[in-house]
Amino acid sequence: MTLASFASRVVEWQQREGRSGLPWQQSADPYRVWLSEIMLQQTQVATVLRYYPRFLARFPDVQSLAEAPIDEVLGLWSGLGYYSRARSLHRCAQVVCAVHGGRFPTCAAELERLPGIGRSTAAAIASFCFHEPVSILDGNVRRLLTRHLGFDADLSKARNVDALWQRAQTLVPIEEPTSMPRYTQGLMDLGAMICTPRRPRCAACPLAGDCRAYASGEPERLPMRRLALARQSRQLWLLWLERPDGATLLQRRPARGIWGGLHCLPAFDSLDALRDAAHRGWGLTGAGQTESPRVHRLTHLDLTLQPVRWCLVPPGAPQFLDGADWYLPAQWERLGLPAPIRVWLQDSARSRSVDLAMPHERRPAAAIP
């Protein structure tokens, strides 16, 4: 039996069984496609489905996003993680408006020059919106193609990744550019739904007929695994100061590093440094109230967060903490906050409102430092 071409099998399968009806599939507007592609990096579709409409409702076009304060963008991104994506998104919108007159470039090579748009994302936008015959090669598609092609070179080496890009490009339906959106979506869907990291569903795969990994009987052996990076651990001491009116002291994090650009409780590497700041900065006495720690897992790092809290702090912005200020709940709710910090503040605000609603005689006494 002669097999149809790789591309036609992908396209036919996508039409029959691939994902359809996702909000970003309803439009060839590069702004909407770009936004969905950035959100979908390292984030599940189910999560993006919650964030995407909210983001679009506030920023319906690239101009509104470019003009927005970065804090508002980070606020709407809160909970999606990988915040450098949100900062690049904002920068990219500004470049599109300032340099390209508010219109996205129409080819992958130009799109790739924009902030935060890598080669695969550029190809996705160009193929979905402008039918350019260029291949994507995100993590899922790498897995699909290395298995189908039996490509067993080490992908931690740039020259091998380049070679895979070249092989990927030879599979694109160059003769039928109008099928590019469905071809690209088909690759994405096969990588996510069929050629999964563990137990790929080869029996349901339209590429099984000439798949080398399937023929070998060990499809999971590919792609070649890189050595896993050793996990690291680190502890951060968080200075949690609350004013009597409910305002919390938050400090903007440096642009680079963990939670870059987000607002956070002031963080210190040691308990001594934290107490020194509390004592010198506000004349507080005592050790503060140590809250239960939480371990926050980042990609290669287990971060133990240990807040130490003082209430009844006198008002006034601390001069010695750069970028720190007081924020009432209505203000910090709109800021970009790391997810665990937001949860802590929300829990605290909730218990505070319960406390205020209780009859005076039943209220617990405030902790005095």
Q: Please give the residue ranges that form the binding site for ligand SF4 (CB under 6 A).
A: 144, 147-148, 194-195, 200, 202, 205, 207-208, 211, 213-214, 219
Shortest distance, position 108 Cβ to ligand SF4, whole Å: 24
* Structure-token match 């209430």, residue found: 311
Q: How many CA atoms lie within 13 A of 230 on its CB side?
A: 2
Shortest distance, position 148 Cβ to ligand SF4, whole Å: 4
Cβ count within 10 A of residue 58? 14
Report CA dihedral (165, 166, 168, 174) to the nearest 10 degrees.
Answer: 130
Report how far residue 323's alpha carbon sits from residue 152's, in angstroms, rounded to the nearest whole number: 49
Q: How many CA atoms lie within 13 A of 356 on its CB side?
A: 8
Nearer to ligand SF4, 40 or 213 (CB): 213
Nearer to ligand SF4, 58 or 212 (CB): 212
Both tokens of 258, joined, read 């963990």
Both tokens of 364, joined, read 């617990």
Shortest distance, position 133 Cβ to ligand SF4, whole Å: 21
Nearer to ligand SF4, 212 or 296 (CB): 212
Query: Would you list the DSSP string of 228-261?
Result: PPPPEEEEEEEEEEB-TTS-EEEEEPPSSSTTTT
Residue ranges of alpha helices (H) inside the chain are: 6-17, 30-40, 45-58, 62-67, 70-77, 84-100, 108-111, 119-130, 139-149, 158-170, 180-189, 212-216, 271-282, 329-332, 339-357
Nearer to ligand SF4, 6 or 104 (CB): 6
Shortest distance, position 197 Cβ to ligand SF4, whole Å: 10
Residue of 176, 196, 189 whose CA lies nearest to 7: 176
Nearer to ligand SF4, 60 or 209 (CB): 209
Nearer to ligand SF4, 186 or 336 (CB): 186
Shortest distance, position 187 Cβ to ligand SF4, whole Å: 11
Shortest distance, position 16 Cβ to ligand SF4, whole Å: 15
What secondary structure letter does DSSP report for 28? -
Nearer to ligand SF4, 38 or 205 (CB): 205
Shortest distance, position 195 Cβ to ligand SF4, whole Å: 3
First to last CA, the chain: 81
Catalytic residue chosen out of the listed positions 17, 37, 67, 175: 37
- Is 112 part of the annotated catalytic residue set? no
3-state secondary structure of 364: coil
Both tokens of 135, joined, read 């291949």
Catalytic residues: 37
